[in-house]
Chains A and B, each alone.
Chain A
């Protein structure tokens, strides 16, 4: 697994208080990991902070799953 994927997982486990085993690429933040719309905004903020980037809102809207997040962040490196 990439270093980016590791960091993304760690953030999700920490912020959503879920078990690491639940954080699969297909897992949806809202449907599978118990996040609400406020949590997803906060996740985006954490990704921005960790990777020192700015994620435009129109991109952020498409980041719905763990896999979406990893893919997007890898594309930004």
Chain B
């Protein structure tokens, strides 16, 4: 059986603009939330989000390119470039026909949709639409751009499953490499959804925290007073490579993508199944796929978005799967720091899992103030402070609107 390892990483997040900065911020327990600067929030119920800071597209792209790239593609290219450099891959020496890109985004070019459609709606009849409208907004343009940049001619498409998008990207990529259909795939995801329609739309779904008097403490998964998620933006990239291929070129290996699983709630468009049935199933299937038992798992990086229903359903599912062993786990939601990056969440959280393995540290669930009586107090939710622990096997969960569930098992390479 072919094995899949991670040989390069890149991140552009609300708490750090490189993988290294992101790692440091995670273990420091830093919040990325602040008042929104992308637009005037006067008439919005939620006035804060986790924006990427100090990002100037012209530092990365020619002015002409900037106009052709929606921010979600800019984020994708920047994170992918960091991961490619980190991997040390030599484009002259690899088989480009066996190198692919599978990239997730929940929405795609949300800035473009909002700006261009608004312009069209206000225009006179006969308005000419920008020729860049379609190629800027479609979700698959990000993997398209990445492949153009590196000449990767293998498998290439986008995964779209809302907040599970980039986990589907990682799961699909790993499976294709195992099946022998590719040797290298750039996996991950990006999202740039902090636009009026994004905040307004999630707000109407009652999904967003409205804690405007304290943005930094708004994302508080598992806290009794959690009131919704905090919208984030950014990207995460992972170079997935077949193990022997990586060894042969003497690559630095971060961890192994040991297994994964994907299920659906088949229940409701936005609400999670209250008993977490399909979430239970997805973790069981992922453990089996990775050929590990529940007792092998040290840490679960949960979806844990800080919504009243979602957090409880996931905890129930974890207890269904792990039983008494659940008490031995470290569990944490790094969304307490990064906010919810939607289609990029799975990618940056997979990176958080890799850092946990690498450093022997569990990134915390920050902003814990009050215990929720509905959550078993014997569970270790890694509240407020990073904890030390040798980490050999991790589960990374992400779920998306539409009822999509993904669970990935990441393993230390011995």
Contact = CB atoms under 8 A, between A and B. Distances in A.
Contacts of B128: 41, 44-45, 48
A47 B50 CA distance: 38
Interface residues of A, number: 14
B131 interface: yes
A54 B126 contact: yes
B63 interface: yes
Contacts, number: 26
Contact of A45 (B63, B64, B67, B130): B130
A38 B64 CA distance: 12
B378 interface: no
B63 A17 contact: yes
Contacts of B64: 15-18, 34, 39
B132 A42 contact: yes
Contact of B131 (A16, A34, A41, A54): A41
Nearest to A57: B128
A41 B131 CA distance: 7
A43 B132 CA distance: 12
A42 B130 contact: yes
B68 to A, nearest CB: 8
Contacts of A54: 126
Contacts of A48: 128
B83 to A, nearest CB: 27
Nearest to B61: A17
B115 to A, nearest CB: 14
Given A15-B67, A54-B126, A38 B131 contact: yes
Contacts of B62: 17
Interface string A14-26: 0111100000000
Contacts of A44: 128
A16 B64 CA distance: 5
Nearest to A45: B128
Nearest to B65: A17
Contacts of B67: 15, 17
Interface string B194-205: 000000000000
A15 B64 CA distance: 6
Interface string A28-72: 000000100111011011001000001000000000000000000
Interface in B105-163: 126, 128, 130-132, 135
Q: Which of B63, B64, B65, B126 has the most CB of A within 10 A?
A: B64
A42 to B, nearest CB: 6
Which 8 A-B pairs have CB atoms at the shortest separation, nearest pair first?
A17-B63, A17-B64, A41-B131, A38-B131, A45-B128, A16-B64, A17-B62, A42-B131
Interface of A: 15-18, 34, 37-39, 41-42, 44-45, 48, 54
24 contacts: A15-B64, A16-B64, A17-B62, A17-B63, A17-B64, A17-B65, A17-B67, A18-B64, A34-B64, A37-B131, A38-B68, A38-B131, A38-B132, A38-B135, A39-B64, A41-B128, A42-B130, A42-B131, A42-B132, A44-B128, A45-B128, A45-B130, A48-B128, A54-B126
